[in-house]
Amino acid sequence: MQQPNVPLSQSEQVALKLASCGSLLFALGVAFGAFGAHGLKNMLTPEVLAVFEKAVFYHLLHAGALILLPFLPLLVKVDLAPIRRVWLILCLGLVLFSGSLYVYSISGIRGFAMITPFGGTLFIGGWVYLAATLFQGALPRDSQKKLLQ
């Protein structure tokens, strides 16, 4: 039996767009993984190939999170706005962390590896921000006030 056509709320539309972008980033991570395994295997030293593989690992890990994060407000009572901020922070971290390692691995230009810690810092910051958002949302309002005093 077909469901009636119920229009999506603005929050649901945003969540679907973010999850769609996360899905595309995940597909890109799979493509980079295949490229590294098949196209770069004989072109890079084992050490540099390990750097490329580390970039793929963090790319896929965070792309998976970017797919799931927008649906968190459906599971727990938390506003989509901070989740969207976490999503953007993690997405930027993915671009800086994995992107810089991809470029460094392929080009050999060490300067790109200097960008990597900024991406890692964004990863850490995004996860801490998510934890703080969820923790704050899990507390009754009067407990939040006591913690802030």
pLDDT at 103: 97
Residue 4 has a CB neighbour count (10 Å cut-off) of: 4
Q: Band the pLDDT of 137: cuts 50, 70, 90.
A: confident
Query: Domain 12-136: which CATH class?
Result: mainly alpha
pLDDT digits (tens, 9 = 90+) for 58-114: 999 999 999 999 999 888 888 899 999 999 999 999 999 999 999 999 999 999 999
Per-residue b/e over 121-130, b at no fewer than 16 CB within 10 Å?
A: ebbeebbebb
- The rounded distance, in Å, linking the Cα atoms of 139 and 129 is 16
Residue 25 has a CB neighbour count (10 Å cut-off) of: 20
- The rounded distance, in Å, linking the Cα atoms of 133 and 138 is 9
**Average per-residue pLDDT in the chain?**
91
> Rounded mean pLDDT of 112-139?
93
pLDDT digits (tens, 9 = 90+) for 23-42: 999 999 999 999 999 999 89
75 close to 19: Cβ distance less than 8 angstroms: no
- The rounded distance, in Å, linking the Cα atoms of 67 and 40 is 28
Domain boundaries in the chain? 12-136
pLDDT at 140: 56
Torsion of CA 6, 10, 13, 18, to 10 degrees: -160
pLDDT at 147: 53
